């Protein structure tokens, strides 16, 4: 007999495999679409006509569904850290299928991001599972959570209206920031819907409560926003860099949103708080390393142009990639 935790574990691992693969499929679809029209990063939507992009979207959908069901069967502290598997999968596949070379420093950056995020999740406080959608609605109407929602939406609007036109093509945190902030609200809404469905199957009907449909509508809007800006991030930046940064920001903001909404920080001991701070420092270190790797990657072609060379561009590129300093 399979326990609930074992079922959640299997679903979480399957989710990571699907989502990690979907990054690569969508990236390849975006590349093909860019050859035939305006790139997604510049506001184009020709990728909607690319079958490979749709395969990636379907794969990601399966992954998100598996992740959604995993949260119903297992606690967040078990499910959330396994999202790190999608980073490893996408980075490895990008290295072999997209020729997006992940150098040694990039690998260490990924490791720091994963270790830090896992530390945060492991030491995050346990949440109290509500017994009805109405109870979740009361939690969502708390002043502290309403303030979090207001701040998140204000930042999202600032990123879309001001930062995106100004530096969206050069600063990866613009697109990923939008995805992550909306993602934290998505998880809160999806968890509410998941609890409603689970309670309904257990004989306590929650489907006809208006709060259930409100949470479902919020989740749908947030998912669409995430999809649009994740496409822009993937089309503009290296997939091996997008995946870990998105994971770090999404995980961190989701933990913060959950702690505020469910008041899970009450009763935290000093050891747990210290471990969470160490986790944040590790995550920040990994993010800096990943940014440095990205900047170095962009600078490499410029170095190659002035190198004395009877070599071809490809030969110089290979020389740079296999240089001992990398």
pTM metric for this prediction: 0.69
pLDDT at 125 over 70: no
| Contact status, residue 168 vs residue 40, Cβ threshold 8 Å | no
Calculate mean pLDDT across residues 29-34: 80
Q: List Cβ neighbours of 2 (8 Å cut-off, separation of 6 or more).
A: none
Residue entry with tokens 């979740």: 136
Q: List Cβ neighbours of 170 (8 Å cut-off, separation of 6 or more).
A: none
Residue 320 pLDDT: 35
Percent of the chain with pLDDT over 70: 79
**Crossing angle of helices 210-236 and 172-201, rounded to 10°:** 150
Q: Other CB atoms closer than 10 Å to residue 11's CB: what's the count? A: 23
Residue 296 pLDDT: 57
Calculate mean pLDDT across residues 51-68: 89
How far is Cα 26 from Cα 112, in angstroms, rounded to an integer?
Answer: 26
Rounded to the nearest integer, the mean pLDDT of the chain is 79
Calculate mean pLDDT across residues 206-220: 92
| Contact status, residue 129 vs residue 285, Cβ threshold 8 Å | no
How far is Cα 160 from Cα 11, in angstroms, rounded to an integer?
Answer: 34
| Contact status, residue 119 vs residue 282, Cβ threshold 8 Å | yes
pLDDT tens readout for residues 257-278: 887 887 766 777 888 878 877 8
Lowest mean pLDDT segment, chosen from 149-153, 308-312, 314-318? 314-318
Angle at 272 between CA 268 and CA 180, to 5 degrees: 90
Q: List Cβ neighbours of 70 (8 Å cut-off, separation of 6 or more).
A: 7, 8, 9, 11, 12, 15, 79
Calculate mean pLDDT across residues 136-141: 92
Q: List Cβ neighbours of 29 (8 Å cut-off, separation of 6 or more).
A: 47, 50, 51, 52, 53, 54, 55, 56
Percent of the chain with pLDDT over 90: 22
| Contact status, residue 147 vs residue 194, Cβ threshold 8 Å | no
Q: What is the DSSP letter of 163?
A: I
Structure token digits, residue 136: 């979740």
């Amino acid at each position: 007999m399979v326990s609930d935790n074992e079922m959640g574990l299997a679903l979480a691992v399957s989710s990571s495999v699907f989502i990690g693969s979907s990054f690569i499929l969508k990236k390849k679809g975006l590349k093909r679409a860019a050859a035939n029209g305006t790139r997604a990063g510049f506001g184009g939507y020709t990728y909607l006509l690319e079958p490979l992009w749709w395969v990636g979207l379907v794969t990601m959908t399966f992954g998100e569904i598996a992740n959604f069901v995993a949260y119903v069967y297992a606690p967040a502290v078990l499910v959330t850290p396994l999202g790190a598997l999608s980073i490893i999968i996408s980075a490895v596949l990008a290295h072999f299928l997209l020729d997006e070379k992940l150098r040694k420093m990039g690998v260490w950056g990924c490791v720091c991001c994963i270790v830090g995020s896992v530390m945060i999740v492991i030491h995050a406080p346990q949440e109290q599972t509500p017994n009805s959608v109405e109870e979740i609605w009361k939690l969502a109407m708390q002043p502290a959570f309403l303030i979090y929602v207001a701040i998140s939406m204000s930042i999202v609007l600032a990123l879309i209206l001001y930062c995106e036109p100004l530096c969206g093509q050069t600063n990866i945190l613009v697109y990923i920031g939008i995805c992550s902030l909306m993602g934290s609200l998505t998880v809160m809404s999806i968890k509410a819907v998941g609890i409603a469905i689970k309670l309904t199957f257990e004989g306590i009907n929650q489907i006809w409560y208006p709060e259930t449909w409100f949470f479902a509508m919020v989740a749908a809007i947030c998912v669409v926003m995430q999809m649009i800006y994740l496409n822009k991030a993937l089309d503009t930046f290296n997939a091996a860099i997008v995946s870990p940064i998105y994971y770090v920001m999404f995980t961190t903001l989701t933990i913060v949103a959950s702690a505020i909404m469910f008041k899970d920080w009450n009763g935290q001991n000093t050891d747990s708080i210290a471990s969470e701070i160490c986790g944040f420092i590790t995550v920040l270190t990994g993010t800096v390393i990943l940014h440095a790797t990205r900047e170095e990657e962009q600078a490499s072609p410029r170095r190659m142009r002035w190198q004395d060379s009877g070599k071809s561009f490809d030969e110089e590129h290979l020389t740079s990639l296999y240089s001992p300093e990398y």
